[in-house]
Amino acid sequence: MAKTPSVIRAEVERICLSPGFENADRLKDLLRYTVEKSLAGRAHELKEYTLGVDVFARGEAFDPKIDSLVRVTAGKLRLRLKEYYVENPSSQLRIEYPSGSYAPEFSEQPINRGWMLWTGAAVALLMVVGTAAWIVPSPKPTRKTLKKITADAAIALNAAISRDGKLVAYVSNREGESFQLYLQLLDGGPPLRLPGITGNASFPDFSPDGAEVVFVQAPVKASAEKGSKQAGIYVTPTLGGTPVRIVDGTADPHFSPDGQSIVYGRGPNRIYWVSRKGGPPKQISPDHFQAASSPIFTPDGKHILFFGRPSGIDDRGRDWWVVSLADGTLVQTGVKTLVRDAEKLPDSPFYCYPSGWLDGKVLFWCDFGERSSLFTASIRAAPWRVTGPIERVTFGAGVHEQRPSASDSGRVVFTSTARSTDLHAVGLDSQASDLSQRQTRQLTSRGADLIHHVMVTPDGGRMSFSLKALRREIWTRDLLSGRESMLSSGRVFRSAISPDGNEVAYHEPRDDGSRIVLAPFEGGIPRTVCENCQLVQGWTPDGRRILWGYDNYHGLYAVDVKTGTQETWIDRKRSVQAGGFSPDGKWLSLSTLGFDARTRAGYAVPVHNGRPGPEREWVLIRNGPEQMQWSPDGSALYYLSGEDGRLCLYGQRLNPVTKHPRGDRFAVYHLHSAERNIFGTWMVPFNFAVTRKDIYLTIVRQQSNLWMLH
């Protein structure tokens, strides 16, 4: 068989469709990219630095001597290709990578023609599936024509398409820092900004007749400035007019099929239903759900489908649920198992969100950490079970494809986001002065991974952190040499490095329970220190005990790493996060949590005989903050807050003896950019750490545009 470009590309797509490559996105990306470069006569450009920047989005600061991602991925690719050709001996073409080279070599090999005959039609089909693009993350797209709707430097989000497929509504910051609401003809024409919006707009949705748009508006700053309207759910005429506030709400409003009512979310675990004309809303999500979001009406308008998770139930309860508007009957759909089977990700947490309906099927998107994709699934009414099959809708417009919306004619619009999350350091002086104008030093070039649970030893020498990827990972970093190592992967969560930097504790959920394990910083065999223990929250200053809490941070407990003896510090009636101990070990920063930010509060808690004092001795630092960390001298507490409209880092000075707040809060680091922002949420905590010299922050960089499939 001639080694023509079409034959080589067809072989690449056969490889990428094979079981060994289906969910190995990094391997497929490297394979496709290097093959295309070689076919273009540019194999000489395939260097480790270039691959790190172009394929894995490591950024210009990528240093191959420190970050071994390219070498490791290339080694895995060589091994996986060898396995592929062992399992597919009838392949007529062989693709190999010589040791020490990133340029592929193509050779013909004998074929047993009785095993399989690849016809010209089969080759053509593979080329359609591949779309001739090396970034294709998955097979079997159900739509083949892709059109980019926005292409400017601004961020565009939350696309919604009208039922007739002619208009798209979305939000963008193209005219300033705030996100405004725009309309655009899908078949051509400039965007039109809708008037009367004084805050940040989000989550638009068209009424069935296309005459109105419902959306969320929030003040530009959390403490509403003069002239900004009250936050909530608004409706505005499509052709322009004055937005009218309907009800208090924060996310995902959708019109009913008849346009007479609206379903929407408020906070992370409340879903409501209200008349289009306003009036008292009705809560339809159960009180015992710790998560409830992404509500949509079923086509008959009599039920609501949503993503939810009941409190007190492990990951088995994380699923789609259907609730009857007539009597509140609640049904679990069972979609989670089907998605995991289809994607071959049995250990991956389930984060899939319904968005609408396409050809009578549920249109939804799934966040797999390193990527997000769009899907459809069939669902059978009464008893509301997802029957499958799970089918892909998108085929590689970007790294993260989210929040789809479909018209009656089958057009689908969605957001495509390129996102990278990296650790940055901000220099810190001993006086805890205002660092809001300081430049950061970028430490990592992780690409699309989501970094969280960042913890650093008191001497500032070693760090541990967690990654939310297809398989969650625990990493360590020597801050002096810059050397990084992956400590564990799979079903692992919430890491914390010991005060001496020699060990890392992390949570490992299992089908038969949950445990906390301890692994050496340099790598080695981990050991179990606590059975039936869950979310790691830190260590005591002497390194003898690990702090942990139950799911959703219920309670605070300490387990002795040598004996396994446990102590109850705060019972399960309270949801708390332990921030850390003061430098002298006499105080513990603690946050009480709640789904409503107004119920959260940060405290300085005195420590008596190695345990926190009673609640009557807790010193209230501030309402609202979370993840509080001590300054190096113990004179202040740092915390993340969105009180000025963006998540920023602040500090609160304290009385040196009583730890009562002294004076107003002060700015530590501001980042008021839609393209770059500090990552932090109480559900995924510990995204900054403080040492004597530096503050380490997790910063997300993103660029989003809108696409259409039809």
What's the pLDDT tens digit per position in 624-659? 776 789 999 999 999 888 776 677 888 999 999 999
Euclidean distance between CA atoms 601 and 65, whole angstroms? 44
Reference 434, options 283, 648, 611, 258; nearest CA is 648
Instruction: Select the more confidently predicted residue: 165 or 14.
Output: 165
Q: What is the pLDDT of residue 88?
A: 81
243 pLDDT more than 90: yes
Q: Do 146-410 and 421-531+579-700 have matching folds?
A: yes
Q: Which two tokens stand for residue 589?
A: 């920063």
Give the CA radius of gyration of the chain.
26
Q: 515 vs 470, 552, 682, CA distance in Å?
A: 21, 16, 22
Domain layout of the chain by residue ranges: 5-130, 146-410, 421-531+579-700
Q: In this predicted model, which residue has the larger pLDDT, 683 or 538?
A: 538
* Whole-number percent of the chain with pLDDT over 90: 42
Provide the pLDDT for residue 313: 52
Which tokens in the block code for residue 31?
A: 């394979």
**What confidence score (pLDDT) does residue 308 get?**
93
| SS3 at position 637 | strand
Is the pLDDT at 132 greater than 50? The verdict is no
Q: DSSP labels for 43-68?
A: GGG--HHHHHHHTT---TT--TTT--
Alpha helices for 344-421 (secondary structure H)? none
For 421-531+579-700, CATH number?
A: 2.120.10
Q: Cα–Cα distance between 215 and 249 in angstroms, integer?
A: 10
Task: Let me know: does 234 contact 215? Beta carbons within 8 Å.
Answer: yes
pLDDT at 160: 97
Q: What is the mean pLDDT of residues 681-708?
A: 81
Other CB atoms within a 10 A radius of the CB of residue 638 amount to: 26
616 has pLDDT over 80 = yes
Helix axes 25-39, 69-87, angle to 10 degrees: 90
**CB-based contact 193:439 (threshold 8 Å):** no
Neighbouring-strand partners of residue 172: 156, 180
pLDDT attached to residue 141: 44
Angle at 602 between CA 600 and CA 605, to 5 degrees: 135
| Kind of pairing between the strands at 688-690 and 271-275 | unpaired
Q: How many C-beta atoms lie closer than 10 Å to residue 107's C-beta?
A: 9
Q: How far apart are CA 29 and CA 499, in angstroms?
A: 39
Residue 123 has pLDDT above 60, yes or no: no
pLDDT confidence bin for 139, thresholds 50/70/90:
very low
Predicted confidence band at 448 (pLDDT cuts at 50, 70, 90)? low
Residue type, 100: G
- 347-372 pLDDT per residue, tens: 667 889 999 999 999 999 998 776 78
In tens, the pLDDT along 267-326 reads 888 999 999 998 999 999 998 888 899 999 999 999 999 999 887 655 667 899 999 999
Q: How much is the pLDDT for 59?
A: 74
Question: Can you tell me the distance from the alpha carbon of 673 to that of 351, in angstroms, rounded to the nearest whole number?
Answer: 27
The structure tokens listed for 198 are 């004084």
Greater pLDDT, 129 or 18 = 18
Residue that has been written with the tokens 């308008």 in this structure: 301
Q: What is the pLDDT of residues 25-64, one digit of tens each?
A: 788 889 989 998 898 888 988 999 889 888 887 777 778 8
Per-residue pLDDT tens digits for 158-185:
999 999 999 999 999 888 778 999 999 9
The pLDDT of residue 2: 62
Superfamily per CATH, domain 146-410: TolB, C-terminal domain (2.120.10.30)
**154 pLDDT more than 90:** no
Q: Given this model, what pLDDT does residue 512 score?
A: 63
At 105, the amino acid letter reads E
The rounded distance, in Å, linking the Cα atoms of 435 and 667 is 7
Residue in this structure with the two tokens 């910083």, named with its chain if needed: 521
Q: What is the dihedral of CA 212, 166, 179, 685, to 10 degrees?
A: 100
